[in-house]
A = this chain, B = another copy of it.
Amino acid sequence: MNRGSIDSVPSGPDSGRFPADQGFDNLPPSSTKPRFLDRPVVRRASTALERRLLQWFLSACGNPEIQVVLWDGRALACSRELPVGNILIHDPVTLRRLLADTEIAFGDAFTDGTLEIQGPLVEVLMEICRALRNAPMGGLFGRILNVARRWRSHSVAASRKNIHHHYDIGNAFYEMWLDERMQYTCAYFAEPGMTLEAAQLGKLDHVCRKLQLKPGETVVEAGCGWGGLALHMAERYGVSVRAFNLSHEQVAYARKRADAVGLSRRVEFVEDDYRNVSGKYDAFVSVGMLEHVGLENYPELGRVIDRSLTPSGRGLIHSIGRNAPQPFDPWTDARIFPGAYAPSLREMLTVLEPFRFSVLDVENLRLHYARTLEHWLERFERSTDKVAHMFDESFVRMWRLYLAASIATFKIGGLQLFQVVFTRESNNHVPWTRSHLYRDEVLS
């Protein structure tokens, strides 16, 4: 055990500090300029104070099995002979920022390239997340953040701005790495090895079966993305759909597709907030919108569902969740999903309980989301040249971190994916068992 001792990094590709077969560069950091960056290498050596502060900092972070390497090649070794990977800090300013404002600075430094990760990216992030979870200060910070975050605004205007930030950066970008149906939510892999296309189609059918859709029925969808589910329900299950979405780009895209497949008479895309849903429907469905609703609006979402469902109506809410209440980390909140929140299952139920909805079925698809994200990251990595051309290298690194960190978080259980099926209390026309969801799967 040599935790905390300060070594210089062994040089050469065979230093063996992390498995070399991961397909990542394994060059000694002291001899390389940061990738993607065209700025001068810092010449001054790190000070004893800087290294001591970093050591204290790593201990407060739960001592992840990661080797941190400073700009002068000096490294803080961890207790394992083979750390999961290296973090390279390329200049003193980045180190100072990291110490002062860790959660924002880590992601920002990765984005601008002043911090690099050597080794298998997802595994390194998993190791950091695991260590943080057991860190002495983690719990308290989490609780303080949680209280603070609840007061973020989710007014109709603020929601519109939040949604615009993430979803209106260009359909062409998402087309590069999503499946052909543009499903930007967790897929359902009946078999772990199936393709993303098949698994996203599987998700659509899984949702439709859970909703027990029958031809001629009406469905309202809250948060419809690029319209894939709405079109699928209309085409394969013979229902009429009104689908709501705040993203202008997504709605325009969805309408075009509805026209192209001749479904615009049965699928209406409405560029509006879920709070403005009107009318009565046989089914309510929302896939991947609850994350943007904000806890304080859950009662209102419940009211919308309650006034929208017929007496025999069914509903399904599909959302990223948590095992216990916890906010998104500040970087994701600031840079990726402003105002997003992944509720615990208990928090999700505050949507339904005030209206005595009967929960029929809850399924947790956590590992399916990790698998979905692995497909996305793989496709994304194949398109980085095009993405860099469309935006820039920083954007590529930001999205790389976001996708890889999401995989890591689902894999260590920091995030869950809940599908909650419900109906009205008095509705006895519910399937006797759930075997109808598995007919194809079992026979195939």
Contact = CB atoms under 8 A, between A and B. Distances in A.
Interface of A: 188-192, 323-325, 344-346, 349-350, 352-354, 356-364, 366-367, 411-414, 416, 418, 424-428, 430, 432-435, 437-439, 441-443
A320 to B, nearest CB: 13
Given A432-B191, A435-B190, A442-B435, A363 B364 contact: no
A313 B411 CA distance: 17
A346 B416 CA distance: 17
Contact of A433 (B346, B416, B441): B441
A324 B443 CA distance: 38
A418 B345 CA distance: 14
Given A433-B190, A438-B438, A361 B358 contact: no
Contacts of A424: 413
Contact of A346 (B349, B428, B438): B349
23 contacts: A188-B433, A189-B433, A190-B433, A192-B432, A323-B352, A323-B356, A324-B353, A324-B354, A324-B356, A325-B353, A346-B350, A346-B353, A356-B413, A358-B364, A359-B362, A359-B364, A359-B416, A361-B363, A367-B430, A412-B425, A433-B438, A439-B442, A442-B442
Given A438-B442, A442-B443, A189 B360 contact: no
Contacts of A366: 358
Contact of A323 (B191, B357, B412, B418): B357
A17 B118 CA distance: 83
A435 B432 contact: no
Closest 5 pairs between A and B when the two form their complex, measured CB to CB: A362-B362, A413-B425, A435-B438, A346-B349, A323-B356
Contacts of A418: 359
Contact of A428 (B411, B430, B439): B411
Nearest to A359: B345
Contacts of A189: 432-433
Given A323-B356, A413-B424, 19 more contacts: A189-B432, A189-B433, A192-B432, A323-B352, A323-B353, A323-B358, A346-B346, A346-B349, A346-B353, A358-B416, A359-B362, A361-B363, A363-B434, A412-B426, A413-B425, A413-B427, A433-B438, A442-B442, A443-B443
Contact of A434 (B325, B356, B434): B434
A202 B412 CA distance: 34
Nearest to A358: B323
Contacts of A442: 435, 438-439, 442-443
A191 B191 CA distance: 27
Nearest to A412: B426
